[in-house]
Amino acid sequence: MIEFRDVSVTYPNGTKALDGVDLTIPDGQFVVVVGLSGAGKSTLVRTINGLVPVTGGELLVNGERVAAANRRQLRQLRSQVGMIFQSFNLVTRTTVMNNVLTGRLHSASALRSLLGWFRGADKEIAFDALERVGIVEKAYVRASQLSGGQQQRVAIARGLAQQPQIMLADEPVASLDPPTANAVMRDLQRINRELGITTVVNLHFLDLARRYGDRIIGMRDGQVVFDGTGEEADDAVFESIYGRSLTAEDVAETGPVA
Ligand SMILES: Nc1ncnc2c1ncn2[C@@H]1O[C@H](COP(=O)(O)OP(=O)(O)OP(=O)(O)O)[C@@H](O)[C@H]1O
C-alpha cells in the first residue's frame, strides 16, 4: 500500500511541486495520474521510490516512511519498485538480454554486480519477463535495433525482472504513435492484472487515461483535484483538471484502437 499523508514537495529553488497531497493506493490498483505539464505528476510518482524527497507530511510505502529510510532501506525500497520512463533509458549499444538483466542487479552481491555475472536463475527470470511483453525472440538483438515500442517493452521487462511490488511509469507512451502507445498500455495493464503489481502511470492523453485507468487522479498546481474512475472522468472533469477547454492535443488518437 502507498499512503500520502498531507505530502508536500518544495524543490531547492523554492518551487512547490506538491501541495498537501492525501492519497491511499491499495495493493494491486492501476492508477493513472493526469494533469497539465507542470501539475506535479512526475514529482508525485518519483516520491514513491524516493527519487524526489518529500519535504512535508508523510509518505509510507508498505508501512515504511520513505523520508526516514537510510541508504540500505532506500535500496531495499527501490528493489521493490520498478520504474519506466518516457525515454526508455536503455543501454542501446548492448543486447536486450543485458538490459533486462540489469533489473536483477538489486538482488546480486556487489562483486557479482560489478562484474556483471548473472546466475542461470536470473536469466530465466529475464526470459520470463521478455515473454510477458511478447519480445522474447529479440533477447540477443542490440537494443538500438528495436523500434520505440519494442524498446519500451524492454524497459518494462527490465522493471519486471526486479520482481517488484510496484511499477511506476512516468509518461511511458509520450514518444510513441497511438497504436504503439495502446499496445504498451495494454502490456502494463496485463502485467498489473496477471501479477497484481500496483501500477502508477502518468499520462497526458485523456483517452488513454480513461481506457486504462481503473482509477484516475487529476493533478493541478501540485494538488489532487480529482480522484475517481475512468467513467466518472468525463470531458467536464478533464476541463476542470486542466483549467481550460479540451483540444485535439489532449487525445492520443482519433482512429481505431490497434
Ligand atoms: N528538479 C526540479 N527543480 C526545480 N523545480 C522542479 C524540478 N522538477 C520539477 N520542478 C517544477 O515542479 C513543478 C512540477 O513539475 P513536474 O515535473 O512534477 O510536473 P508534471 O506534471 O510531471 O509536468 P511534465 O509533464 O511537464 O513533466 C513544475 O513547476 C516544475 O517546473
CATH code where residue 21 lies: 3.40.50.300
Answer whether residue 253 is part of any domain.
no
Of 13, 43, 55, 224, best ligand 1 pocket probe by most atoms within 8 Å of the beta carbon: 43
Kindly state the cell numbers that stand for 93. Answer: 549499444
Answer whether residue 41 is part of any domain.
yes
Closest by CA to 207, choosing from 10, 34, 67, 29, is 34
Answer whether residue 256 is part of any domain.
no
Adjacent-strand bridge partners of 59: 4
Burial of 78 (0-12, 13-18, 19+ CB in 10 A): middle
Ligand 1 binding pocket includes 89 (Cβ within 6 Å): no
Whole-number Å distance, alpha carbon 226 to ligand 1 midpoint, is 19
* Nearest-atom index, ligand 1, CA of 202: 22
What is the pLDDT, as a whole number, of residue 69?
80
Answer whether residue 125 is part of any domain.
yes
What is the pLDDT, as a whole number, of residue 116?
62
Distant-in-sequence, close-in-space partners of 101: CB < 8 Å, separation ≥ 6 = 116, 118, 122, 123, 126, 161
Domain count, the chain: 1
Ligand 1 binding pocket includes 17 (Cβ within 6 Å): yes
Structural domain containing residue 116? 2-246
How many H-runs (helices) and E-runs (strands) does the chain carry? 9, 10
Whole-number Å distance, alpha carbon 54 to ligand 1 midpoint, is 14
Answer whether residue 102 is part of any domain.
yes
d(CA 14, CA 255): 43
Answer whether residue 252 is part of any domain.
no
d(CA 46, CA 52): 5
Distant-in-sequence, close-in-space partners of 109: CB < 8 Å, separation ≥ 6 = none
* Nearest-atom index, ligand 1, CA of 9: 12
Ligand 1 binding pocket includes 35 (Cβ within 6 Å): yes
d(CA 218, CA 110): 41
List C-alpha distances in Å: 30 to 41, 53, 56, 64, 197: 15, 23, 26, 21, 8
Whole-number Å distance, alpha carbon 96 to ligand 1 midpoint, is 31
Ligand 1 binding pocket includes 218 (Cβ within 6 Å): no
What is the pLDDT, as a whole number, of residue 109?
61
Answer whether residue 59 is part of any domain.
yes
d(CA 251, CA 63): 37
Residue nearest to atom 29 of ligand 1 (CA): 38
- Where the chain has pLDDT below 50, the residues are 255-258
Answer whether residue 254 is part of any domain.
no
Full DSSP string of 173-207:
TTTS-HHHHHHHHHHHHHHHHHH--EEEEE---HH
What is the pLDDT, as a whole number, of residue 247?
86
What is the pLDDT, as a whole number, of residue 257?
47
Residue nearest to atom 2 of ligand 1 (CA): 11
Asked if the interface predicted TM-score (ipTM) of this complex is over 0.90, the answer is yes
Whole-number Å distance, alpha carbon 33 to ligand 1 midpoint, is 14
Of 13, 19, 42, best ligand 1 pocket probe by most atoms within 8 Å of the beta carbon: 42
What is the pLDDT, as a whole number, of residue 250?
87
Sign for the CA dihedral angle at 36, 40, 46, 48 comes to negative
Of 11, 171, 223, 242, best ligand 1 pocket probe by most atoms within 8 Å of the beta carbon: 11
pLDDT in tens, 143-158: 999 999 999 999 999 9
What is the pLDDT, as a whole number, of residue 258?
45
d(CA 232, CA 62): 28
